[in-house]
Amino acid sequence: DTEVTQTPKHLVMGMTNKKSLKCEQHMGHRAMYWYKQKAKKPPELMFVYSYEKLSINESVPSRFSPECPNSSLLNLHLHALQPEDSALYLCASSQRDRANEKLFFGSGTQLSVL
Amino acid sequence: QKEVEQNSGPLSVPEGAIASLNCTYSDRGSQSFFWYRQYSGKSPELIMFIYSNGDKEDGRFTAQLNKASQYVSLLIRDSQPSDSATYLCAVAEGGTYKYIFGTGTRLKVLA
């Protein structure tokens, strides 16, 4: 089973709204990620929770804040977003395979900021 | 700056042919190599991974790795229209989660 579940699948929000994206995995993976993907571009790493430690891509603005309530859940809180933040937001978890991490993506949340 | 390069395509092949997708990377410290398939509007799906030099086969897919040339490829045999998608190459340093993705190659399989 390689399922990573994301909700909602689609989200439309105004620039003054606060919303959250949710992600869940029950595969026992110890690392979870948020990626952002714009059309025709590769995924860009935003945040990683690996063994309860948070790593941040320094270029991610503070209007995005991650939360990891436990090793199976990962949230992304959104506040005062801009239209350029419209993108596909992908959650992923990774499985340690020998010395490597295999990354599995959820189905994504298509976010539109008006 | 660590980079992963792919030809953006589109690469068009007739149904039943072999599709060959290529990827080069700049970081000699890279240890793990992945191919993801992404349909339009969907999330990337892991289809192949390879860690050692040589070939690795899984069904219609073969991944080939040449660390000396810093080159990884994906062959799709007996291509089907359902294989039409963007194929992302991803490279990671050993033991890390720091993936670097290429920009993807769009494959079109013509019926």
B103 interaction partners in chain A (CB closer than 8 Å): 40-42
Q: Do B34 and A101 touch (CB under 8 A)?
A: no
- For residues A85-111, give the mean pLDDT: 89
Of A31, A97, A104, the CB nearest to B97: A31
Q: Is A98 left (phi over 0), alpha (psi -120 to 50) or beta?
A: left
Which tokens go with A31? 């690392």
Please give the C-alpha separations between residue A27 and each of A1, A4, A45, A72, in angstroms, as whole numbers: 7, 9, 21, 8
More confidently predicted of A54 and B22:
B22
Whether the bond into A43 is cis, omega within 30 of 0: no
More confidently predicted of A38 and A96:
A38
- Give the closest residue to A88 by CA, choosing from A47, A42, A54: A42
Given a cut of 60, is residue A1 above it in pLDDT?
Answer: no
Question: According to the model, what pLDDT value does residue A67 have?
Answer: 94
Please give the C-alpha separations between residue A70 and each of A20, A23, A25, A54, A77, in angstroms, as whole numbers: 16, 11, 11, 12, 16
For residue B98, what pLDDT band results from cuts at 50, 70 and 90? confident
More confidently predicted of B16 and A100:
B16
**Quick one: how far is CA B46 from the chain centroid?**
10
User: A 73-92 residues with CB below 8 A of B?
Assistant: 88, 90
More confidently predicted of A113 and A96:
A113
Q: Choose from B43, B45, B96, B105 for mutation: most chain A CBs within 10 A.
A: B43
Given a cut of 80, is residue B96 above it in pLDDT?
Answer: no
- For residues A30-47, give the mean pLDDT: 94
Q: What is the pLDDT of residues B33-88, one digit of tens each?
A: 999 999 999 999 999 999 999 999 999 999 999 999 999 999 999 999 999 999 99
Q: Choose from B58, B97, B98, B105 for mutation: most chain A CBs within 10 A.
A: B97
Question: According to the model, what pLDDT value does residue A51 have?
Answer: 79
B44 interaction partners in chain A (CB closer than 8 Å): 43, 90, 105
